[in-house]
Amino acid sequence: MTRSKDTKSATAIIHDQDLVRGSGGELHQVADGDTPLLTTAQGGPVADDQNTLKYGERGPSLIEDFHFREKIFHFDHERIPERVVHARGYGAHGYFETYESLAKYTRADIFQRAGEKTPAFVRFSTVAGSKGSFDLARDVRGFAVKLYTQEGNWDIVGNNIPVFFIQDAIKFPDIIHSVKPEPDRAFPQAQSAHDNFWDFISLTPESMHMIMWIMSDRAIPRSFRFMEGFGVHTFRFLNAEDESTFVKFIWKPKLGLQSVVWNEAVKINGADPDFHRRDLWDAIQAGDYPEWELCVQLFDQEFADSFDFDVLDPTKLIPEEILEPIPVGRLVLDRMPDNFFAETEQVAFMTQNVPPGVDFSNDPLLQGRNFSYLDTQIKRLGSTNFTHIPINAPKCPFHHFQQDGHLAMRNPVGRVNYQPNSWGEGPREHPARGHRSYRDEVEGPKVRLRAESFADHYSQARQFFNSQIEVEQNHIAMALTFELSKVETPVIRERVVSHLLNIDETLATKVADKLGMKKLPKPADAAIAPRDDLEPSDRLSIVKNGPESFKGRKVGVLVTDGCDAKLLRTLSDALKTEGANMEIVAPKVGGVEASDGSLIEGKQMIDGGPSVLYDAVALIVSAEGAERLTKEAAARDFVADAFTHCKFIAHVEDARPLLDKAGVEPDEGVIAISAAADVKGFVETCRKLRLWARETKVKL
């Protein structure tokens, strides 16, 4: 414990009278009756935390300065190795509430009682970038959930995309090495737009389904709160009779799906590289707790045998129109960690952490993850005793004979540290209550072989592309063009286009044309000819699965001195009723004086609050203020970017000069507001999130 909980608020302001100046002019904050005393880690009170112990005023520092040695020693060791993948993450606490008993399918304790709440911790992350990278990289997002059940921790370690690049875990080091910064030059950071990645992809056709997802807007989500999560693999449920049901896990956001566009993502990373972190923090601090429904796709062996693709293949999914997901509970995040390092950074997820009643399939990628994760956590956290760290410790009773080792915080008590023993002491196994694996009948030779049922690499990629609306398809083409334009080796670009020809010829032609290729290559050889009879799946489109309201979103309101105070209050009230927020953007962060003389404080100044940070914008300015803003590049960009990114723009009549100067051609998404009815209409229109029809005009 480094400080008492009953100390002054962390937001208390330090005034000059709280400071004492030392003999060398340095400032000391000295403890008083309300402030705890600074001590060493051993509890010894510290007299001076500003100066090392020296031999004379200007002499050498002394090795006997134990406070300095302890302080710098700890500082030198306060960073642990970052994760090789998923290094940049952000987490929150919450709970999972079970809807109804699933005892028919599983004996997992968490699914036995309707209405029961189970503590949870969730960590969201990007995959490729380091801890210091930006939030809105084009990347897969990790969606890892730790459920502290009454029969041990259950980790559902998934992503926001239901499939993966590879079919066998032995290729995982290769895909990650290829996407990480190239080893001779150590860049690019948090980007897949380089030769190594696309070289690997072009030589690995099983990746093509995932490529369609990663080049879609799924890879640049607007918020953690607006993205799905998937367990990726096929698992098993086992009931009390050890009867097996296959299961796939899907987390569906209550606020609907939403992403940004690439041009917007690039600018967000410059304006706020912590965009996703800040969004989650702000939502939870405001009491707008993010929520997801856990849905399961349940099926038996007969369905698995009849399905068009192998359910053990992690590059495939089961379309929801074929197998409807069943909601079984809800996940609510309602508390941020007290300390980022202690919880979010040290949390250890492992796919092999499952409770009795949940078991694994023979998915070769899942099997490899089960083997790898334990070793990863030992390396990162420095000891086999990483479960002693509070965030990783079970919240249910636990008993075992593991002992000693580096950083052991608990050890067996008494004489007995083994079993069986003659003393009748210590825990014992329980065949009925313990975890039992499914008695799967397996036969065949020991071989290094890929099943023929894994060999269709293009059909579901084609299905995904065909399931997108035209705007989304254009975004995929644009993403591929951008990424491949960064590839310096022509043969790699050609190989990728040859794969695209097996997915969609129009897509391949468009990308090839943008890259300046004189002629199309031949389609890549396909182990199995791609099918064209798979029905499009509406559930695979972001736009088709958007929200029903504007709840959880944010409007950036640009104001100036003399702005209409009544209209501003009307907009604020309408957004609160909708469950949305507004943020004031002003010429100066100190705010503006409204038409009624009231002070409207600014959350952002125009130079630091670009419109890319908001889901929609409103221009509530005076005529004089608008005229001033027309001369400011940041204000013009605020309006122009909102228009270019197909956002809805509300404006008062006095804002027209600013609209004109920003090059805005009014359309149905540029909405004049002067009365309460106009404001209500604007908020209702914002539920559509974007006016995609504008995109062809702005040529985004």
Please enumerate in sequence order all residues whose Cβ is within 8 A of that of 275, keeping only pairs 6 or more positions apart, or say none.
Answer: 135, 136, 268, 269, 613
Nearest to 138 by CA among 503, 478, 458: 478
Report the 3 state secondary structure along 35-76. Answer: CCCCECCCCCECCCCCCCCECCCCCCECCCCHHHHHHHHHHH
- Which amino acid does the sequence have at 629? L
86 counts as catalytic: yes
Percentage of the residues of the chain whose pLDDT score is greater than 90: 78
- Which amino acid does the sequence have at 495? R
- 153-194 pLDDT per residue, tens: 999 999 999 999 999 999 999 999 999 999 999 999 999 999
Two tokens at 11?
């937001």
Does the pLDDT of residue 6 top 80, yes or no? Answer: no
Stretch 88-98: mean pLDDT, rounded?
Answer: 98
Q: Pseudo-torsion of CA 507, 510, 514, 516, nearest 10°? A: 110
Choice between 429 and 468, residue whose per-residue pLDDT is larger: 468
pLDDT of residue 14: 58
Report the 3 state secondary structure along 189-220. Answer: CCCCCCHHHHHHHHCCHHHHHHHHHHCCHHHC
pLDDT of residue 143: 98
Does the pLDDT of residue 7 top 70, yes or no? Answer: no
Choice between 40 and 648, residue whose per-residue pLDDT is larger: 648
**H/E stretch holding 570:** helix 565-578
Query: How many H-runs (helices) and E-runs (strands) does the chain carry?
Result: 19, 20
Could you tell me the CA-to-CA distances from 630 to 535, 563, 627 in Å, in that order? 50, 16, 5
Least confident of 69-78, 444-453, 635-644: 69-78
pLDDT band at 643 (very low <50, low <70, confident <90, very high): very high
Least confident of 3-12, 119-128, 211-220, 247-256: 3-12
pLDDT of residue 35: 78
Check residue 304 and report its DSSP letter: H
Q: Between β-strands 117-126 and 141-149, what pairing exists: parallel, antiparallel or unpaired?
A: antiparallel
Does the pLDDT of residue 79 top 90, yes or no? Answer: no
Does the pLDDT of residue 150 top 60, yes or no? Answer: yes
Two tokens at 304?
């698995």
pLDDT of residue 2: 41
Choice between 405 and 597, residue whose per-residue pLDDT is larger: 597
- 550-577 pLDDT per residue, tens: 999 999 999 999 999 999 999 999 999 9
Q: How far apart are CA 695 and CA 700, in angstroms?
A: 6
pLDDT of residue 405: 86
- Which amino acid does the sequence have at 355? P
- 476-499 pLDDT per residue, tens: 999 999 999 999 999 999 999 999
pLDDT of residue 3: 40
Q: Pseudo-torsion of CA 408, 414, 417, 422, nearest 10°? A: -170
Does the pLDDT of residue 4 top 70, yes or no? Answer: no
pLDDT of residue 5: 41
Average predicted confidence (pLDDT) for the chain: 93
- 573-588 pLDDT per residue, tens: 999 999 999 999 999 9
Least confident of 70-79, 210-219, 416-425, 681-690: 70-79
The string of DSSP letters for 373-427 reads: HHHHHHHHHSSGGGGGSGGGS-SS--------STT------SS--SSS-TT--S-
pLDDT of residue 276: 98
pLDDT of residue 17: 62
Please enumerate in sequence order all residues whose Cβ is within 8 A of that of 538, keeping only pairs 6 or more positions apart, or say none.
Answer: 321, 467, 544, 545
pLDDT of residue 72: 79
What are 575's strand-pairing partners? none
Please answer whether residues 96 and 396 qualify as being in contact, where contact means their C-beta atoms are separated by less than 8 angstroms. Answer: no
Does the pLDDT of residue 1 top 50, yes or no? Answer: no
Does the pLDDT of residue 470 top 70, yes or no? Answer: yes
Check residue 147 and report its DSSP letter: E
Stretch 675-690: mean pLDDT, rounded?
Answer: 96
pLDDT of residue 9: 45
pLDDT band at 214 (very low <50, low <70, confident <90, very high): very high
Could you tell me the CA-to-CA distances from 578 to 258, 567, 670, 685, 689 in Å, in that order? 17, 17, 20, 12, 14
Q: How far apart are CA 348 and CA 81, in angstroms?
A: 13
pLDDT of residue 267: 97
The string of DSSP letters for 609-622 reads: --GGGSSEEEEE--
Stretch 242-269: mean pLDDT, rounded?
Answer: 97
Does the pLDDT of residue 68 top 90, yes or no? Answer: no
Out of 67, 93, 153, 159, the active site residue is 159
Out of 67, 86, 194, 651, the active site residue is 86
The string of DSSP letters for 583-595 reads: EEEESSTT-EE-T
Q: How far apart are CA 72 and CA 311, in angstroms?
A: 53
Does the pLDDT of residue 642 top 50, yes or no? Answer: yes
Residue appearing with tokens 């030769």:
195
Stretch 617-642: mean pLDDT, rounded?
Answer: 97
Does the pLDDT of residue 351 top 50, yes or no? Answer: yes
Q: Could you tell me where the DSSP H helices lie in 5-163?
A: 66-76
Choice between 536 and 425, residue whose per-residue pLDDT is larger: 536
Structural domains in the chain plus CATH codes: 1-78 (4.10.91.20), 89-162+223-392 (2.40.180.10), 552-698 (3.40.50.880)
Q: How far apart are CA 657 and CA 617, in angstroms?
A: 16
Choice between 133 and 29, residue whose per-residue pLDDT is larger: 133
Nearest to 462 by CA among 194, 212, 235, 162: 212
